[in-house]
Chains A and B, each alone.
Chain A
Amino acid sequence: MASIAIPKQGGYSRPLILEWITTVDHKKLGILYLYTSMFFFAVGGVLALLVRTQLAVADNHFLDNHAYNQIFTMHASAMLFLFIIPIWAGFGNYLVPLQIGALDMAFPRINALSYWLFPPAGIIMFSGFLVKDGAAQAGWTAYSPLAKTLGTGMDLWIIAVAMLGVSSTIGAANFLVTMFRMRAPGMTMFRMPIFCWTMLVTSVLSLLATPVLASALTMLFIDRNFGGNFFDPNGGGNAVLWQNVFWFYSHPAVYIMILPGMGIISEILPVFSRKPLFGYKAFIFATMGIGGLGFSVWAHHMFTTGAVLKPWFGFMTGLIGVPTGVKMFNWLGTLWRGQLTFEPPMLFALGFVSMFLIGGINGAFAAAVPVDFAIHDTYFVVAHIHYVLFGGSVFAVFGGLYYWFPKIWGRRLNDRLGQIQFWLMFIGFNLTFFPMHLLGLDGMPRRIATYNDFNNWQLLNMISTSGAFLIGLSMFPFAAAVIMAFMKPKDQPNDPWEANTLEWATTSPPPVHNFDEIPEIHSERPLFDLRHGTHSNH
């Protein structure tokens, strides 16, 4: 019988700052991930407001082309690489070990390494603003040969993204081993919470796709610094090659950015509908289906190059809508005849379901080859990505924060402020991004610093900009709720929401060793079983 040494609480006294810098505790690292990603969310948000200010009126000179290119590039890079991807690592770090009844991640020190690659990468990426010619300006997609011609900021961007790639690759291996090997007795694979399953599939995608991005970045770095010719037609290279290798990563990456969000709302919807998730296994297989098919659709970003097999990639992209549609039914079936209550986590989850539906439908439009030719590189694409990644992922982030705040910090965020934030964000979001569909269909190209007032473009852009400031405003109730929560003492019980999953069996916040006692696990809803003393048949 192996014995487990449980650290005595308060047994080691060291300065608080040293404690946080040297910690290998998955909960502390999770919190560090959450704080750091939210910081970059704020930075990326400010950049977005600068972009929207520039585009508010036609022929504007608030930003010049040079500044505008840096700012929209860094907005996307910060939001994707420094906010969405790492914040899932934050939720995952905090929750996965608790949800499967483990003491910690499988490799706590590698976990710390994953985190500590992240803040320096952010600093390196943003240090581009300090060098000659400024930060990266080729968009987050860094298309070559444009990316070859830019200044040092581009190299800093490449280095930063490569570091983040290493961070998520080793993090992915850590999550996989944790879920394969560290589950509590009774916690079979098909009793794991849906959030864990989405982290599992996300980790497989990270593990297999991120290294391909690393190879693409390597080639770009060689082209830029060692006279390479991978993407330079003058040396026999091929500019479309970059797009192939880049999107081979970056299409799976959009699932890396959305699947854990789907997992979060699949935790929230059953709790606030007082029902089990409708079709637990169907959801898992749909997630696996999205993960698998995710590797076969990358070239739908490249239809207009004419260099890809359009019928194949169009068909596969249509096909990936099927498992996504299955999930829609999972969520709607969960809500159907439930006893719905509308606390902030539920509002954000419902926001996700409705906005992601629009993002899915306009995505299916864009997957049709002839439509894609019409809307390629227009604002329609900007609308699509934001309906999926803001209407989807960001709503899930806030839903998750409101839902798990009591567990992580032992305090509850104010419901009323949460509702105000939700409605401001929901209205602001639609005001910002819905008009972009119309602008895109009307042919307004994306990534341009300014435009003529043609066909009421200025009116639509002005609506969009005012929506963006409404989103900015919606962050103040959130900040107020957080500050108010931290001014109160920790008063939350183990399970304030009457939830289903194992993290609610321990105290809020959990002790260093996570659980004093792990309840028996007979189903995917151990806490429901604990409350009602029943074993559901699964």
Chain B
Amino acid sequence: MAAHGATATQHKEPLSNGMLGFILFIASEVMFFGGLFAAYFIARADSAQWPPNDVLEAMKAAGTSGPNTELKLEVALPLIATCILVLSSFTVQWAVMQIAKGNRTGLIWGLFISIALGVTFLTMQMYDYSQLPFSSGDTVWATAFYTLTGFHGAHVGGGIIFMTVCLVRAMGGQFSAQHHEAVEAASFYWHFVDVVWIALFTTLYIVG
């Protein structure tokens, strides 16, 4: 035992109370998106066509939808945005690995790049929104699209704020190889946001 004494004092609990609580919080977030995804799939299963162009025609005839509305998505820009978001998951993980080795400069750059990539993703999403030929009221398909991607976007925003707080703290020298739990929590959250987007992209753009 004595030989291991020095390492034993540095031994970290595999999961602190804070991290356990944070993972439980992410579990509740998973259930939130689970509810929205379930709604999407139920609406899809109950529709004769998907996207529901038949409903759109009826709405156009009733005047509740504009004549130029189309239920159509462009894949190219969101595909690039997807690559950017996936890349940011790697950069934030790189940042965690750097601070685990005690490299504060690496942490700062890793966080900075991840934040920049996140902001780029959000900017592209907003541009994409501005170009889409339908609005949130044009059938359940459009409502589900804006709700799912909009809430995901809000979570990207939350992740950016979380990482920015970590960045400011990192520049203040608050993190070290032993103490960088907030950065790890931010990375968990960011990976979660990333995974949700991959599921969303697959559902909305590939499966359709």
Residues in A lying within 8 Å of B, measured CB to CB: 106-107, 110, 169-170, 172-174, 176-177, 180-182, 207-216, 218-219, 222-223, 226-230, 232, 234-238, 241, 244-245, 248
B64 within 8 A of partner (CB): yes
Determine the residue in chain B with the shortest Cβ distance to A226.
B136
Q: Per a CB cutoff under 8 Å, which of B42, B59, B135 touches A241?
A: B42
Q: B195 contacts the other chain (Cβ, under 8 Å)?
A: no
User: B21 at interface (Cβ–Cβ under 8 A)?
Assistant: yes
- Contact (Cβ within 8 A) B147 A245: no
Q: Which of B34-57 contact A (CB under 8 A)?
A: 34-36, 38-39, 42-43, 46-47, 52, 55
Selected from B34, B38, B62, B143, the residue in CB contact (under 8 A) with A229 is B143
Quick check: A209 and B31 within 8 Å, CB to CB? yes
Scan B22-36; emit 1 where CB is below 8 A from any A CB, else 0: 001101111111111
Question: Is there an interface contact between A211 and B143, defined as CB atoms closer than 8 Å?
Answer: no
Residues of B within 8 Å of A241, CB to CB, are 39, 42-43, 46
| B139 lies within 8 A of A235 (CB) | yes
Are A211 and B29 also in contact (CB < 8 A) when A229-B137, A235-B59, A236-B43 are?
Answer: yes
B contacts, CB < 8 Å to A: 17-18, 20-21, 24-25, 27-36, 38-39, 42-43, 46-47, 52, 55, 59, 62, 64, 135-144, 147, 151
Asked if B136 and A222 make an inter-chain contact with CB atoms under 8 angstroms apart, the answer reads yes
Contacts of A245 in B (CB 8 A): 35, 38-39
Residue pair A170, B151 in contact (C-beta under 8 Å): no
Q: A244 and B25: CB pair below 8 A? A: no
In the bound complex, do residue B147 and residue A219 qualify as a contact, i.e. CB atoms below 8 Å apart?
yes
Complex CA–CA separation, A41 to B47 (angstroms):
44
**14 A-B residue pairings within 8 Å (CB atoms):** A176-B20, A177-B20, A207-B31, A212-B32, A212-B34, A227-B143, A228-B136, A228-B143, A235-B137, A236-B55, A237-B43, A237-B140, A238-B140, A241-B43
With the chains together, A180 CA to B36 CA distance in Å?
30
Q: Which residues of A contact B28 (CB under 8 A)?
A: 169, 172-173, 207-208, 210-211
Report the nearest A residue to B33, measured CB to CB.
A215
Across the interface, do B144 and A230 meet the contact criterion of CB distance under 8 Å?
yes
Cα–Cα distance between A390 and B33 once the two chains are bound (Å) = 34
Chain A nearest CB: distance from B9 CB in Å? 11
* Chain A residues whose CB sits within 8 angstroms of the CB of B24 once the complex forms: 172-173, 176-177, 207
**B151 neighbours in A (Cβ, 8 Å):** 218
* C-alpha gap A211/B34 in the complex (Å): 9
CA distance A62 to B36 in the complex (A): 42
B137–A230 touching, CB < 8 Å: no
Beyond known contacts A173-B24, A208-B31, A236-B140: 6 more, CB 8 A cutoff? A107-B21, A208-B28, A214-B32, A219-B36, A223-B143, A226-B136
A223: chain B residues at CB < 8 Å are 143
Asked whether, in the complex, the Cβ of A230 is within 8 Å of the Cβ of B35, the reply is no
Question: Given the complex, which residues of A lie within 8 Å of B144, measured CB to CB?
Answer: 230
Q: How far is the CB of B42 from chain A (nearest CB, A)?
A: 5
Q: Which residues of B contact A214 (CB under 8 A)?
A: 32, 35
Q: How far is the CA of A447 from the CA of B147 in the complex (A)?
A: 33
